[in-house]
Amino acid sequence: MSDAFQALSRRLLPLAAAVGFAIVATPALARGPEGIADVAEKVIDAVVNISTSQTVEAKNTDNDKGSDERGNRRGANPQLPPDSPFSEFFDEFFKNRRGGPDSRGNSPRKVNSLGSGFIIDTDGTVVTNNHVIADADEINVILNDGTKIKAELIGRDKKSDLAVLKFTPPEKKITAVKFGNSDSLRLGEWVIAIGNPFSLGGTVTAGIVSARNRDINSGPYDNYIQTDAAINRGNSGGPLFNLDGEVIGVNTAIISPSGGSIGIGFAVPSKTVMAVVDQLRQFKEVRRGWLGVRIQQVTDEIAESLSIKPARGALIAGVDDKGPAKPAGIEPGDVVVKFDGKDIKEMKDLPRAVADSPVGKAVDVVIIRKGKEETKKVTLGRLDDGEKPVEASAKTTSPVEAEKPVTQKALGLDLAGLSKDLRTRYKIKDSVKGVIVTGVDDGSDAAEKRLSAGDVIVEVAQEAVTNAADVKKLVDQLKKDGKKSVLLLVSNGSGELRFVALAVK
């Protein structure tokens, strides 16, 4: 038995060694690269806490029936704007109130909020999120050693959720960090987040780049880095570092049902941050390029109708009469596939590329028109603060019930000529030309694409139409040609255009 055991042991020894090697190696990988500690030690003094305070009015109403445990009537909570960064502190604030000289809650009160930021210049320039300092009456920067210094707001940009602050540095030397190139990030690359989660102060977490160019529908310029490094409330405005100690993102948002980290955090990439920060420091505002178009996604059906393979680009649904695109010769129905040398793979790429371009720059815009590529030279205007790149709207006006006119049927639509009576009934401007939709078949492709009575068909397959017979004739021809879908240019009563591809049956 002893000899047999020894023989078995000798045969299993190589396997045990291999397993042992795997077991030994795994913990080392789990800890991450050795350089994390060195990076954290190098940059942590550049990461600051942002302390803000806001004076709010506390209101008491007759409808408030609440009371504390002693039976004292409680005032209503102060009214804050939606998504205010101060709101998360109110529950704790009011939970700890216990009557007092003004237990009715009628006096103005100060509430505090804490976030993160980082120093980019030894002159005291700090970058953070706009939502960290929004509506604040007073802003203070707290250095890593606890020194608290009052800061002023230099400028902020709501669209990218970034802000620049400035404080007077103390006599001692302060640490500043540099931006890295977020475009060079690779999936799986290690990154380090440092910030002030839950007001705990300088906290270091590490993870990897989970995704790039992430759109979370928070604004027109979404282009986030996604990471699984632990990011929680209070980390907002803090830096995301690469292993060279360079800032490659600003931690801005998380997805979390519980309010804590579940490993899905988002950071504004440094390429976007640098451009915004430079303008905020120079102009105290962001001046974005403006093309003056309304756009929509190029779906597979629309691409087939326009003979574009593969489906790509941004479809021009409308052109502003006073915008830069108009004199350059860009028209509805054009598909932008390249802007200033950058490929436009999908609709959302165009607003980003335009916004990142300097005002007044002359750029080449490559479009596809009727299956052929053309290049247009456009001198960009400036996007007003109240404007934003918009998708084509599908909203229509509810018509007043009246006797139905004589119509013709096509594509599941009841179509009629635009008479004076129909213009009045559906509130259609005189400038809108085409064929009006007076009814839509239930369950039809047109109904699924949200066409409704009061919409006006301006073009069919990029051919202008003036009566219902024109529509039917063009649709019948497309059927004979073997087309699977037909592209309609549709207007609402106000003249806003959009493209709709309907199946040809």
Active-site annotation holder among 51, 84, 160, 161: 161
CA distance 97 to 32: 45
491 in active site:
no
Comparing CA positions, the residue from 160, 349, 352 lying closest to residue 267 is 160
Would the annotation count 112 as a binding residue? no
Residues facing residue 368 across a β-bridge: 335, 373
Query: Exposed (0-12), middle (13-18) or buried (19+): which is 468, by Cβ within 10 Å?
Result: buried
236 in active site:
yes
Comparing CA positions, the residue from 144, 200, 153, 218 lying closest to residue 176 is 144
Structure tokens at 469: 């017979």
Query: Exposed (0-12), middle (13-18) or buried (19+): which is 277, by Cβ within 10 Å?
Result: buried
334 in active site:
no
CA distance 449 to 296: 14
Would the annotation count 236 as a binding residue? yes
Active-site annotation holder among 113, 131, 270, 356: 131
Would the annotation count 140 as a binding residue? no
With b for 16 or more beta-carbon neighbours within 10 A and e for fewer, the 239-276 pattern comes to bbbbbebbbbbbbbbbeeeeeebeebbbbbbbbbbbbb
Give the DSSP letter of residue 309.
S
CA distance 325 to 292: 6
Phi first, then psi: give them for residue 67, nearest 5 degrees: -150, 160
In the block, tokens 């990897």 appear at 208
310 upstream amide cis, omega within 30 of 0: yes
Q: Where are the alpha helices (DSSP H) in 356-486?
A: 420-426, 445-448, 468-480
Degrees (nearest 5) of the Cα angle 289, 291, 294? 130
Active-site annotation holder among 236, 305, 357, 491: 236
Structure tokens at 207: 């993870």
How far is Cα of residue 214 from the mean position of the Cα atoms in its chain? 9
CA distance 222 to 334: 24
CB 265 within 8 A of CB 216: no
CA distance 149 to 146: 10
Extended beta strands in 345-392, E state: 362-369, 372-379, 381-382
Residue 437: strand, helix, or coil: strand
Rg, C-alpha atoms of the chain: 30
Binding annotation = 131, 161, 234-236
Residues that are catalytic = 131, 161, 236
Binding annotation for substrate = 131, 161, 234-236
